[in-house]
Amino acid sequence: MAIQFFCIALFTIFVAMKHFGLIGYPLGHSASAAYFTDKFSRESIDAEYTLYEIENITALDGIKGGLSGFNVTIPYKKAVIPYLATISPEAEAIGAVNCVKVDSKGLLHGYNTDAVGIRATLLPYDLCGQRAIILGTGGAAAAVKYVLQELAMEVVMVSRNTSQNVITYEQISEDIVYSTRLIVNATPVGMFPNIDNAPQLPYHAIGKSHILFDLIYNPAQTRFLALGAAQGATTIGGGEMFRRQAEASWEIWSAKGEF
């Protein structure tokens, strides 16, 4: 009888536990598993969070069945969209997804909580109507652009390759930097373990009126930020954004009765 009761209790625990995770490649820099594991422990939440380092988005088919939700990072924030049954209006407008909820039928529903984290991080600064440079054109950069355009900012997009409405790093002149208030690094350049790297910029043109925002949170101060700080600029690391987007993801996953 005792054994039977133990088996029933064990089965109940197994069924109740929820599974979440992060898909991306590579994931050696990620603090997501540590963050959510600590959160689940502190708040007595019966769940686990796993990193899924996948080299191709097609591997998602073999993962999603066991998950109640997952985050998405480089390089799949745009590539995941065709796998979704629905996408939130904001994520659709951004063109990128970093949070997915899996419903009871196994269907995927996409959201963008990066925008939540970016808004919260930049809220203390008076940026409305000013000019910004965004380094990168991936999913994170798309979320930054969306938020900055909400602030009626003029946005200059920068990439390694030229395209419509995008300039290259070689085209970032001193005059462009002088006339800019905010510079955002939305690339993985400078992320652990390549912490000595920094985006190509005329850093000597940066001054006390500039704000440098790096979406990277590992390390807390990237070389990009250190070079800006040496010129007197205000610098913002990616830690606050990371925490805000993580909590916004949890609100989506834990919401009742949505599907």
The Cα–Cα gap between 59 and 52 comes to 9
Query: Which residues is 212 bridged to in the sheet?
Result: 183, 235
2 Rama sector, left if φ>0, alpha if ψ -120 to 50, beta otherwise:
alpha
Do residues 101 and 153 make contact, with C-beta atoms less than 8 angstroms apart? no
User: What is the pairing mode between strands 166-168 and 154-159?
Assistant: parallel
Output the six-digit token pair for 120.
Answer: 């919260």
Output the six-digit token pair for 48.
Answer: 């686990």
Do residues 177 and 203 make contact, with C-beta atoms less than 8 angstroms apart? no
Active site residues: 77
The Cα–Cα gap between 235 and 206 comes to 12
**Burial (Cβ within 10 Å: 0-12, 13-18, ≥19) of residue 43:** exposed
Do residues 222 and 199 make contact, with C-beta atoms less than 8 angstroms apart? no
What are the phi and psi torsion angles at 85 (to 5°)?
A: -80, -40
